[in-house]
Structure 1
Amino acid sequence: MEAEYLRHGVPLTGYQLSQADHRRQHEAVQVHEWVQRQLAQAPRWSDERWEKMRQLLGPSTSAWELQRWRLRLYCGHVIEATRLRERPRPDGGICDKERCPECGLDPAVIVAFEPLGPVADPSPEKRSRKPSRSTRKPPADRRSRAELVAENEALRAELDALRDQA
């Protein structure tokens, strides 16, 4: 099922910053500065460690899994960016800010956005590669809640019977 993509602050060029936008930008700058201080104190990773991390994270995201967005940043510049297609907003989760390629503001909070379309359409075999959570079969070793409740009650009855014998 395709996500229903949301819009905010359209048209992007006429968007006026709100108090919430100023607050979010201030918080983003504070978090960014804190992270930079922590990274400066951290030991450097070896090439082998970086390679292990790349292997753990797996292959990069395919183009058909990405959605294009037009974003207005806190600095006022309008850019294009990509996000996972499954998300209805480009500013949700951990991607609520960008580095502005025009003025260099980093981080620049996303204050307005509109969807542009998918980066690429999936081929028919890619569409059926990952079934949605609702259509996926549970693993064979997973039991339903009712089965677990029944087993729990049976075990409690057995425990009570053992206590009575003692």
Structure 2
Amino acid sequence: MEEYALTRRDHSRQKQSEESCERVRRQVDEDVAKCRADPARAERRRQAFENVAKLMQSFKKQDHEIMRWRVRLYCGHIIETEAHYTYTDPIDAGGYSKRCPECGKDGLTIVAFEPIGLRGEPPEPTEPTPPPPPKKPTRAELERRVKALEEENEHLRAELSG
């Protein structure tokens, strides 16, 4: 990953990321201005963020569910990032745009990556033994059951007729 050469696609994705970051910054600035002008709106926004934070905490994942990735950012620096193990790569996991802790640039795209491994070892399986499959009745048992049902049927018909 250290010798990775940027491609046209990398440059294009980085440009799109920068443009997207700029649009988001403008939207955030507009929203902040609206919240400053309207305290009720600011309180609703604060409450919404608080609710989202609580919700995110409720989805805490176990260490064995988190994959660690070594990623190279557009700026050339290599960092580690994490994502749920079900994602095939850190870009699909929403990690396509990062802030570099080394140079401080924001909105950097991931241009290369490699998995490091899970954050923790999966627990030993503790599968309970499955219940034994139901025993198939023997022919004699089935014949007795049929005979009993036929007798019950005859008894019910006699009650209804008479």
* Secondary structure of 1:105's aligned partner: coil
CA distance in 1: counterparts of 2:18 and 2:50, whole angstroms: 30
Partner residue, 2:147: none
CA contact (8 A) 2:70 2:116 kept: yes
Q: Which residue of 2 aligns with 1:80?
A: 80
Post-superposition Cα deviations, 1:105-126, rounded to whole Å, max 9, x if no partner, equal 111100011111000122246x
Pairing of 1:91-106 with structure 2 (within 5 A) = 91-106=91-106
In 2, Cα distance between the equivalents of 1:33 and 1:72?
A: 22
Question: Counterpart of 1:29?
Answer: 18
Partner of 1:55: 54
Q: Deviations over 1:69-107 (max 9, x none)?
A: 110100000111111111111111522121110001111
CA contact (8 A) 2:83 2:93 kept: no
Change (3 A) 1:20 1:89: same
Q: Which structure has more RCO (C-alpha within 8 Å, separation ≥ 6)?
A: 1
| Sequence identity percentage | 35
What pairs with 1:111-126 in structure 2 (closer than 5 Å)? 111-124=111-124
**Structure 2: which 5+ residue stretches go unaligned?**
36-41, 128-162
Judging by fraction of residues, say which structure has more helix.
Answer: 2
CA–CA separation in structure 2 for the residues paired with 1:39 and 1:54:
18
Backbone CA RMSD of aligned residues:
1.9
Cα distance in 2 for partners of 1:118, 1:93 equals 15
Give the count of matched residue pairs: 115
Give, in whole Å, the separation in 2 of the partners of 1:65 and 1:75. 29
Q: Give me the whole-angstrom Cα distance separating, in 2, the residues matched to 1:60 and 1:35.
A: 27
- The superposition leaves residues 124-151 of structure 1 with CA deviations (integer Å, 9 ceiling, x where unpaired) of 46x98xxxxxxxxxxxxxxxxxxxxxxx
Provide the C-alpha distance between the structure 2 equivalents of 1:16 and 1:28, rounded to a whole number of angstroms: 19
The CA deviation at 1:39 is: 1.0
State the SS of the aligned residue for 2:120: coil
- Which letter does structure 2 place at the counterpart of 1:50? F
CA distance in 1, matches of 2:66, 2:55: 21
Output the amino acid matched with 2:52: M
Distance 1:56 1:36 in 2: 25
Structure 2 length normalisation: TM-score? Answer: 0.64
